[in-house]
Amino acid sequence: MNFVQELTWRGMVHTLMPGTEEQLQKELTSAYLGIDPTADSLHIGHLVGVMMLKHFQAAGHKPIALIGGATGMIGDPSGKSQERNLLDEPTLRHNQDCIKKQLALFLDFDSDKENAAILVNNYDWMKEFSFLAFIRDVGKHITVNYMMSKDSVKKRLGEDAKMGMSFTEFTYQLVQGYDFLYLYKHHNCKLQMGGSDQWGNITTGTELIRRKESGEAYALTCPLITKSDGTKFGKTESGNVWLDPERTSPYAFYQFWLNVSDEDAQRYIKIFTMLTKADIDGLIAEHAQAPHMRVLQKRLAQEVTCMVHGEQEYNAAVEASAILFGSGTAQSLAALDKKTFLAVFDGVPTFQIQKVDIEAGIQILELLATHTNIFPSKGEARKMIQGGGVSINKSKIESPEKAIDSSYIINNSYILIQKGKKNYFIVEIV
């Protein structure tokens, strides 16, 4: 497999330094990609870089995932309008451990193969580096003129910049450049990959290797992923879409991919899955024949959810989706854990009822029109029940005389009421 060609047809190459492809065809090569450890989980914005490493390993080369422990203490100015909060060492180490577990879903760290992935943290080689030693051994090889020419710096120092840039951030490209130099010397690393906003930082590293070691090193960047409407990829109303199931439930994760536009699905399925070109071309053609079936979105959601959360969680997410959209059963509803239940019915109107009241039993009309205002009157509630339009926990209510008691409570917390086909309400038991 030709790594550069593979990434190119997938739309994952923005800029490629001359000689990169030739280097990769010549020999097994090590390449690294930096990951910011600002949280104890990756989010889907990291996935493009992670998939680059995955394809790199699949092509027979050696991926190095670099946790930016030292650089995380500084803050990268690229694409930022202001400085970030800096982290202490215990937080960095915790975040590193969590991130490695997630990376292991994509990369083989444990095999005895020559191209097994490794994880490094630049804090390990930067923490003992004195300021004087750094400016003497590294700083003298890169001119201020060179550093000032980078877009990430110019944007922050230009006429329109409001905040300016601290010396701390200004030094970022030198520290990242030294990472490349260190990995070149200690791991024979000859390629750095990253987002297109990292080009300036990456080429500072190649320049440092050239000037200090008279060595050849290379750079490859991928485009920054956006949505077809121009908004930022990976963001929802509630914030980032995380890989950690505690931060973003597998159901919400699955739904994110399921709900992307046709245009985005066609791009994303190339970037975020390992499906072959033939498979993807087939899916695109099938989707074009019947767009309403959302073949692309369904397969994309399946591939990414299985890769991150496993097949069991994927199946649970599919089943949970069926509950919301009409075809789920009472059994599948009862099987939902509390977190998934809340994720499925996020934003649904909620009413509270005392547990003692429900234990005593509440006549269905009272529940629908007195204890809640799901219906404006008992008469309307009765009429809809008689017409077969009311369900409790996905089971149709046959009689307006029915009493609802504690046997209807799901997860010791909720009762789900459905009015017509699409209107859901939650009764929370307190």
1: which 2 tokens? 């497999």
Query: 191, 218 in Cβ contact below 8 A?
Result: yes
Q: Which candidate in 84, 141, 227, 294 is catalytic? A: 84
For 85, list phi and psi in degrees, rounded to 5: -75, 140
Question: CA angle at residue 320 from 103 to 46, to 5 degrees?
Answer: 20
Between the alpha carbon of residue 73 and those of residues 99, 132, 156, 171, the distances in Å are: 17, 19, 19, 12
Q: Which candidate in 43, 141, 227, 294 is catalytic? A: 43
Q: Which candidate in 14, 15, 23, 80 is catalytic? A: 80
Query: 64, 31 in Cβ contact below 8 A?
Result: yes
Q: Is 46 one of the annotated active-site residues of the chain?
A: yes
Q: Is 84 one of the annotated active-site residues of the chain?
A: yes
Termini Cα distance of the chain: 59
**Neighbour count for residue 358 (Cβ, 10 Å):** 20
Which residue, chain included where needed, has tokens 């989707």?
A: 287
Q: Which candidate in 10, 46, 270, 287 is catalytic? A: 46
Q: Is 141 one of the annotated active-site residues of the chain?
A: no
The residue type found at 384 is M
Q: Which candidate in 15, 38, 329, 370 is catalytic? A: 38
* Stretch (H or E) spanning 327: none
35: which 2 tokens? 């990951």
Q: Is 38 one of the annotated active-site residues of the chain?
A: yes
Q: Give just the sign of the alpha carbon dihedral 310, 316, 319, 320.
A: negative
Query: 28, 114 in Cβ contact below 8 A?
Result: yes
Q: Which candidate in 5, 25, 143, 236 is catalytic? A: 236
How far apart (Å, rounded) are the C-alpha atoms in residues 344 and 337?
Answer: 11
Q: Which candidate in 197, 244, 262, 357 is catalytic? A: 197
CA-based nearest residue to 331, from 395, 391, 404, 385:
395
Between the alpha carbon of residue 367 and those of residues 110, 283, 402, 406, the distances in Å are: 57, 48, 10, 13
Compute the residue count for the chain: 430
Q: Is 101 one of the annotated active-site residues of the chain?
A: no
Q: Is 309 one of the annotated active-site residues of the chain?
A: no
Query: 325, 277 in Cβ contact below 8 A?
Result: no
**Residues taking part in catalysis:** 38, 43, 46, 80, 84, 176, 197, 232, 235-236
